[in-house]
Chains A and B, each alone.
Chain A
Amino acid sequence: MNDIIQDITTRFSVTDIINKRENLTFVTCRKENTISLITHLRDREKFTHLVLLTAVDWIEDNLFQLTYILNNPTKKIDIAIRTMIPRDNPVMESAHRLWEQVATYQRELKEMFGIEFPDSPRLNEPFILEGWNEIPPYRRDFDTKKYSTETYFPRIGRGTNDPEEYMKSKLYPNDPTK
């Protein structure tokens, strides 16, 4: 694993290397180099299995983090590649030519986070949502509770509690300091 990380550090200038386990390493790569790095790892280092592709919304930094987790089934090691893209112009190069399932992941990311992957097949077809007119719902600024309160009518006889306060009152009824 160390050899591979050293090699990709030289070739692709990866940073923020974190060895989470002996078989799992996280690295950060610049947006422009990410697809080249993934292609290199797949074709040269035999990371042939794409475990997942997903996004994390760092709204406070105005960034989306894309995470690609790649697995080498022979050496039984994983590399997770993080890349940051601006939140106000979320466009990323498509990786659909590398694995067949990537187009589905990208279709979901477009729908749920509003991230664009130019040329990705069926990108604008609805995947899970139908007739959605709000902002992409997995963004941090989408308020789930507000949406459901405005969209659905309350069920008669059903009370609501603040979960934290309710659990506190149940677990520590005599100790309000907890």
Chain B
Amino acid sequence: MEKIKNIFNWEPDRSLYPEKDENGNLIVDLSSQKFTKVWHGPNHPGTTGNMAIELTLSGDEVVEAKTHVGYLHRGFEKLMERRLYIQCFPTCVRMCVAEPDYNEYLLARSVEELDNLEIPETAKWLRTLVLEMARLQTLLRTVPGQAGTLSLGMGVQWGVYLRDLVLDLFEELTGGRVYHMYIIPGGVRGLLPDGFKKRMEDVLLKIEDFIVRIDNLIFKNILFKKRTIGIGHIPAEWIDKYGVVGPNARAAGFKRDVRKDYPYLVYDQLDFDIATLTDSDVYARSLIRRQDLITTIDLIRQIMAKMPNDGDIKSPTPNVLHWKIPKGEVYVRSESSRGEYGFYTVSDGSEYPRRINLRGPSYTHAVVLLEKLLINANIADVHSIMVSLQTCPPEIER
């Protein structure tokens, strides 16, 4: 490991770099022909969704990077201000396509906290199951997706196939494949179908087999190691300074996980540990996500074993068309596969939310952190660094 690190332990020639003016801004004169401007995205196989990075290059080295978002902006937060709370559910799930269930949970939890509503025990277990299934299907794309950025696409194909099996289970449980609207204020919409646990176990066994195969294909692959070890290093002192959360913080040695630190639903009744590393490079972040995948499989098995098979799944609520939520404000958070994911909800006492604001991890990771990390990076590593932060543009622009 040390040997490989040393290969990349070099200092670039800074004599070609642009000078800075008195305000610290780079002086980039494109007409000097020393620099090139390249747009990485919004349509690029290496980008994670509709996002562009404006790169200024000196040779093949990045000297300046600017993130551009807005390609998916539909004003979800504004649209929700004109909708009844129950009507906000189909809107809010679209704020993160990869993991829509966290939006449902957080909106439902906000309403319940503002109106002091408790939910039945069975509903808590079912919500936890759905959130972990959401994490599972995301990680099945993300873990091999890191190698996909380096043209090692085979693992991605395997992951997409297995994700489809998880989506089948979602369809069986909720009726929807990508957007579920399964979690509603007061509880959830249904119990597990007959035989669901057996089918879930079959899928989990296939995923365990997949982890062995991606270990051989990706994590023990010397080419993958050479392209990821020492690349995109996030120093520990940046974690709070740049608002870094989730696997990106855990790869830098910070044992932070909302499920452990601020237990919600039934996470305090589940036995799991949080993995940390200290290398804080692309390889370390990939390893943390691989470990998260194993933890998620274990958590789903625990939930299946411990959850009640029947019981109430929804507390009585007022008529959702006339439900006036008491005046107040609340912040609720959960741990998505990318880190802390929260909703700040303000009610003015009417049937409509006054303001709903999403706090997504990509807001800091994909803008200020990515712009900083890409400086001095080689252009060939740009998409690898970006994917290692697991950016999700819809949650930035909302």
Contact B83 A26 (CB under 8 A): no
Contact B243 A99 (CB under 8 A): yes
Contact A51 B359 (CB under 8 A): yes
Contact B73 A129 (CB under 8 A): yes
Chain B residues with Cβ under 8 A from A142's Cβ? 78
Contact A78 B70 (CB under 8 A): no
Interface membership of A52, Cβ < 8 A: yes
Interface membership of B367, Cβ < 8 A: yes
Interface membership of A20, Cβ < 8 A: yes
Contact B321 A128 (CB under 8 A): no
Interface membership of B270, Cβ < 8 A: no
User: Known: A50-B243, A100-B368. Contact between A171 and B359, CB under 8 A?
Assistant: no
CB of B320 to closest CB in A, whole Å: 8
Contact B243 A129 (CB under 8 A): no
User: Known: A69-B331, A164-B321, A167-B321. Contact between A100 and B344, CB under 8 A?
Assistant: no
Interface membership of B104, Cβ < 8 A: no
Q: Which residue of B lies closest to A52 (CB)?
A: B359
Q: Can you list, as one digit per residue, whether each of B318-347 has a CB less than 8 Å from chain A (1) or not (0)?
A: 010100000011110100000010101010
CB of A82 to closest CB in B, whole Å: 8
Interface membership of A5, Cβ < 8 A: no
Interface membership of B357, Cβ < 8 A: yes
Chain B residues with Cβ under 8 A from A103's Cβ? 368
Chain B residues with Cβ under 8 A from A101's Cβ? 242-243, 363-364, 367-369
The distance in angstroms between the C-alpha atoms of A48 and B369, with both chains bound, is: 17
Chain B residues with Cβ under 8 A from A140's Cβ? 81
Q: Which residue of B lies closest to A125 (CB)?
A: B66
Contact B355 A56 (CB under 8 A): yes
Most chain A beta carbons < 10 A, residue from B261, B368, B369: B368
CB of B53 to closest CB in A, whole Å: 14
Chain A residues with Cβ under 8 A from B87's Cβ? 163, 167
Chain A residues with Cβ under 8 A from B367's Cβ? 101, 104
User: Known: A24-B331, A128-B69. Contact between A100 and B261, CB under 8 A?
Assistant: no
CB of B274 to closest CB in A, whole Å: 13
Chain A residues with Cβ under 8 A from B254's Cβ? 73
Interface membership of B301, Cβ < 8 A: no
Q: Which residue of A lies closest to B329 (CB)?
A: A26
Interface membership of A11, Cβ < 8 A: no
Contact A163 B83 (CB under 8 A): yes
Interface membership of A144, Cβ < 8 A: yes
Interface membership of B222, Cβ < 8 A: no
Q: Can you list, as one digit per residue, whether each of A3-28 has a CB less than 8 Å from chain B (1) or not (0)?
A: 00000000000000010110110100
Interface membership of A44, Cβ < 8 A: no
Contact B331 A51 (CB under 8 A): yes
Total inter-chain residue pairs, C-beta < 8 Å: 102
The distance in angstroms between the C-alpha atoms of A23 and B357, with both chains bound, is: 20
Q: Which residue of A lies closest to B354 (CB)?
A: A56
Contact A52 B342 (CB under 8 A): yes
Contact A144 B82 (CB under 8 A): yes
Which residues in window 125-146 of A have CB below 8 A to B? 126-130, 137-138, 140, 142, 144-145
Interface membership of A178, Cβ < 8 A: yes
CB of B7 to closest CB in A, whole Å: 30
Contact B70 A130 (CB under 8 A): yes
Contact B240 A49 (CB under 8 A): yes
Contact A69 B82 (CB under 8 A): no
Chain B residues with Cβ under 8 A from A137's Cβ? 75, 78
Q: Which residue of B lies closest to A18 (CB)?
A: B328
The distance in angstroms between the C-alpha atoms of A133 and B62, with both chains bound, is: 34
Chain A residues with Cβ under 8 A from B333's Cβ? 51
Interface membership of B196, Cβ < 8 A: no
Chain A residues with Cβ under 8 A from B265's Cβ? none
Contact A144 B75 (CB under 8 A): yes
CB of A72 to closest CB in B, whole Å: 11
Chain B residues with Cβ under 8 A from A164's Cβ? 84, 321
CB of A113 to closest CB in B, whole Å: 11
CB of A123 to closest CB in B, whole Å: 13
Knowing that A49-B243, A80-B329, A104-B364 touch, tell me 17 more A-B residue pairs with CB under 8 angstroms.
A26-B329, A51-B340, A54-B357, A80-B331, A99-B240, A99-B243, A100-B369, A101-B243, A104-B363, A128-B73, A128-B397, A138-B75, A138-B77, A144-B75, A144-B82, A167-B321, A178-B321
